[in-house]
């Protein structure tokens, strides 16, 4: 079974009715590091990275002298130095969307030539940092950015390789907020704008070298047909641009977005299945449109890190509504996992010390934050619950810490990495002093 089709980390086991991850008892982790606590399973990350490499090995072998498959981890899912080291060691580069992500990778010692900078409104400061860090690729999103990047490359006397991000006009059946490839989108050049963008670069911007095109069609995608439609559009566009402008574009970034199994009813395609389908469609289109096999980039983020993550909470108060819902409150919620309130995201959970007990009562898991909408899981069946129990919520590696906030002036949780019965802190828990460290009281208010 493919790693993205698990609801729990690859190393999750039950020993004496207690959940273990990476050989570590979750009860011990909660005691040592306190809760809420993000727990990341190293083996799950490595397993899924290797699945991607294996799934595209056939395409990579088409040209033994040139690496045709170049996976990029979508850093926005979770950008942490320790995890970047793991992902890099598995042969992945990185897709970044901010100065902070670029800086995190730089400080972690990542080869910056493996980094691509993406985004619809890159600031001058961000582009300057990217130039100084000597990153490998820029995904140019709009005409403003062409002008800005041109000015900065001349200023720093640096030539850069770019991909043109296009909007392919594909809609995937996913949440509206995470659709990015449809015609009406803030991202990329519409197809009718592509030629003008190419002309501007070729005529006026000698410091920018167009290597290929880039698209992204959405997130949490379960339909493989979306990718095949995208390939058809991108290969045809590469062929058309090459013929019209006498170019040899040979890179194609398909973006990412492959879904994961948050709950039992989710049915994402396996990584190997997607890989085989993409290669088959790519071979068909290469022959149809008469181009050389391009270097292909994909940008998995969620499917790399999501299942590796589990969040531990301590259960506190409970409330039984007369003839209605039983609310069970935990010591975290929407500030450490905003996805349920933003996307109506669904999760599975367990009581870590009652893994084999009968799931006898239906409850709603409520967060501690001062919002009625702070509900993590609605109507889940769990064993009889007591205050002080440890609840684990699965599949919280992606877009949990990376979207976390300090709402209600609550400290962000710690994060630990587990592997072979060892746990290591990779993000320290915030302190109260951390919360106020950036605040300043003017002298005129003191006294």
CA 44 – CA 383 distance, rounded (Å): 27
Q: CA separation (Å) from 113 to 52, 120, 198?
A: 21, 21, 23
Could you give the count of Cα atoms lying within 13 Å of 60 in the half-sphere of its Cβ? 13
Residue 177, pLDDT score: 35
Tens place of pLDDT per residue across the chain (447 aa): 788 888 999 999 999 999 999 999 999 999 999 999 999 999 999 999 999 999 999 998 877 788 999 999 999 999 999 999 999 999 999 999 999 999 999 999 999 999 999 999 999 999 999 999 999 999 999 999 999 999 999 999 999 999 999 998 766 544 343 334 445 567 778 889 999 999 998 987 789 999 999 998 888 888 888 899 999 999 999 999 999 999 999 999 999 989 999 999 999 989 999 999 999 999 999 999 999 999 999 999 999 999 999 999 999 999 999 889 999 999 999 999 999 999 899 999 999 999 999 999 999 999 999 999 999 999 999 999 999 999 999 999 999 999 999 999 999 999 999 999 999 999 999 999 999 999 999 999 997
Q: Which CATH class is domain 68-305?
A: alpha beta
C-beta of residue 384 within 8 angstroms of C-beta of residue 360: yes
The phi, psi pair for 441, rounded to 5°, reads -100, 115
Cβ count within 10 A of residue 420: 10
Domain spans in the chain, listed from the N-terminal domain onward: 3-40+308-436, 68-305
Q: Which residue is it, tokens 């170049």? A: 70
Rounded to whole angstroms, the Cα distance separating 308 from 301 reads 12
What gap in Å lies between CA 75 and CA 88, rounded to an integer?
12
CA distance linking residue 237 with residue 168, whole number of Å: 10
Active site amino acids: 370
**Equal fold, 3-40+308-436 vs 68-305:** no
Q: What is the 3-state secondary structure (H, E, C) of the chain?
A: CCHHHCCCCCCCEEECCEEEECCEEHHHHHHHHCCCEEEEEHHHHHHHHHHHHHHCHHHHCCCCCCCCEEEEEEHHHCCCHHHHHHHHHCCCEEEECCHHHHHHHHHCCCCHHHEEECCCCCCHHHHHHHHHHCCCEEEECCHHHHHHHHHHHHHHCCCEEEEEEEECCCCCCCCHHHCCCCCCCCCCEEHHHHHHHHHHHHHHCCCEEEEEEECCCCCCECCHHHHHHHHHHHHHHHHHHHHHHCCCCCEEECCCCECCCCCCCCCCCCHHHHHHHHHHHHHHHHHHHCCCCCEEEECCCHHHHCCCEEEEEEEEEEEECCCCCEEEEECCCCCCCCHHHHHCCCCCEEECCCCCCCCCEEEEEECCCCCCCCEEEEEEEECCCCCCCEEEEECCCCCCHHHCCCHHHCCCCEEEEEECCEEEEEECCCCHHHHHCCCCCCHHHCC
Contacts of 49 (CB under 8 A, 6+ apart): 71, 87, 90, 91, 92, 304
Q: Given this model, what pLDDT does residue 91 score?
A: 97
Supply the pTM of this predicted model.
Answer: 0.94
Q: Round to whole Å and give the CA distance between 98 and 204.
A: 26
**How buried is residue 392: exposed, middle or buried, by Cβ count under 10 Å (0-12/13-18/19+)?**
buried
CATH fold for the domain made of 3-40+308-436: Lyase, Ornithine Decarboxylase; Chain A, domain 1 (2.40.37)
Q: Are 352 and 27 in contact (CB under 8 A)?
A: yes
Interior angle at CA 431, CA 425 and CA 436, nearest 5: 140
Q: What is the pLDDT of residue 174?
A: 47
Residue 129 token pair: 């940092």
The strand pairing partners of 38, in sequence order, are 311, 415
């Amino acid at each position: 079974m493919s790693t993205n089709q698990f609801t729990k980390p690859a190393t999750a086991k039950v020993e004496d009715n207690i959940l273990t991850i990476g050989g570590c008892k979750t009860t011990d982790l909660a005691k040592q590091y306190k809760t809420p606590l993000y727990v990341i399973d190293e083996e799950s990350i490595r397993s899924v990275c290797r699945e991607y490499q294996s799934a595209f090995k056939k395409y990579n072998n088409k040209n033994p002298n040139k690496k045709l498959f170049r996976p990029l981890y979508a850093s926005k899912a979770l950008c942490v130095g320790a995890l970047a080291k793991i992902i890099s060691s598995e042969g992945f580069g990185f897709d970044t969307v901010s100065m902070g992500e670029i800086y995190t990778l730089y400080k972690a010692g990542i080869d910056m030539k493996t980094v691509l900078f993406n985004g619809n409104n890159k600031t001058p400061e961000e582009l300057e940092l990217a130039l100084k860090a000597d990153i490998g690729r820029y995904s140019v999103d709009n005409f403003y950015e062409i002008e800005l990047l041109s000015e900065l490359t001349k200023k720093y006397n640096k030539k850069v390789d770019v991909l043109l991000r296009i909007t392919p006009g594909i809609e995937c059946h996913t949440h509206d907020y995470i659709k990015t490839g449809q015609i009406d989108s803030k991202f990329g050049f519409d197809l009718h704008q592509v030629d003008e963008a190419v002309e501007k670069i070729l005529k006026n911007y000698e410091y920018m070298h167009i290597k290929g095109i880039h698209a992204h069609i959405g997130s949490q995608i379960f339909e493989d047909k979306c990718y095949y439609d995208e390939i058809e559009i991108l290969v045809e566009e590469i062929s058309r641009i090459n013929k019209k402008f006498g170019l040899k574009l040979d890179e194609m970034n398909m973006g990412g977005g492959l879904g994961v199994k948050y709950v039992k009813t989710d049915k994402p395609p396996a990584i190997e299945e997607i890989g085989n389908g993409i290669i088959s469609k790519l071979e068909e289109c290469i022959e149809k449109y008469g181009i050389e096999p391009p270097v292909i980039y994909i940008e998995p983020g969620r499917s790399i890190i999501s299942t590796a993550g589990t969040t531990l909470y301590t259960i506190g108060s409970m409330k039984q509504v007369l003839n209605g819902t039983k609310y069970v409150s935990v010591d975290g919620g929407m500030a450490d996992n905003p996805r349920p309130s933003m996307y109506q995201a669904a999760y599975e959970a367990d009581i870590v010390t009652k893994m084999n007990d009968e799931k006898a009562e239906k409850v709603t898991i409520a967060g501690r934050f001062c919002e009625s909408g702070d509900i993590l899981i609605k109507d889940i069946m769990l064993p009889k619950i007591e205050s002080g129990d440890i609840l684990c919520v699965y599949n919280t590696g992606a877009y949990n810490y990376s979207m976390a906030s300090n709402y209600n002036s609550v400290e962000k949780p710690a994060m630990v990495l587990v592997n072979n019965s060892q746990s290591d802190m990779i993000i320290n828990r915030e302190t109260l002093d951390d919360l106020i460290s950036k605040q300043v009281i003017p002298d005129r208010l003191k006294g």
